[in-house]
Amino acid sequence: MKPIGYWLNRTDQAITHHMNGVLAEYGLTRTTWQVLNVLRDTPEATDTAVLAALAPNADRPTLTAAIDTTLTHAWTTRPTPGHLTLTPAGRDHLSTVATRVAAFRDLSLTGITPEDYRTTVTVLERMTLNLETNQARS
């Protein structure tokens, strides 16, 4: 059996590759889609807040490029310096891709019960907290 790190890396790569393929026709990547979702959930977020929320998902240059893409396509705007907000076009864009994202999620969860999913997430969360807590003590 391969170790958990192998499967974590491979799963993340598979998710990113497949989701990028699903979203490409809409001019989105997984990261750009995540930026739009953060802004949907946190209106008028600061750039710093968006970068912090998505730091576990991508490096700073990738996140900055994703933010720039949302601005270029007018899916977001800057109501004040250093702040971002989702535009009506951005909301519509998220709504348009929602069916494709739901189908992607269904595919990725094929053969996985809700209980299995909850257990997996709980175990990964516990492992992360164990390591982060230990790191803070070191």
Predicted confidence (pLDDT) per residue in 31-80, tens digit: 999 999 999 999 889 999 999 999 999 999 999 999 999 999 999 999 99
In a domain, 53, yes or no: yes
83 contacts 44 by C-beta, under 8 angstroms:
yes
Q: Among residues of the chain, what percentage have pLDDT more than 90?
A: 93
Whether 102 is in a domain gets the answer: yes
The answer to whether position 118 is within a domain reads no
Residue 90 lies inside a defined structural domain of this protein: yes
**What CATH number is given to the structural domain containing 38?**
1.10.10.10
Note whether residue 119 is domain-resident.
no
* 26 belongs to a structural domain: yes
Asked whether residue 91 is domain-assigned, the answer is yes
Q: Containing domain of residue 80, as a range?
A: 4-112
Q: Is residue 128 part of a domain?
A: no
What tokens does 111 get? Answer: 């053969």
Question: Is residue 131 over pLDDT 70?
Answer: yes
Number of domains within the chain: 1
Q: Which long-range contacts (CB under 8 A, 24 or more apart) does 71-76 make?
A: 73/27, 75/36, 76/35, 76/36, 76/39
Is the pTM above the cut of 0.85?
yes
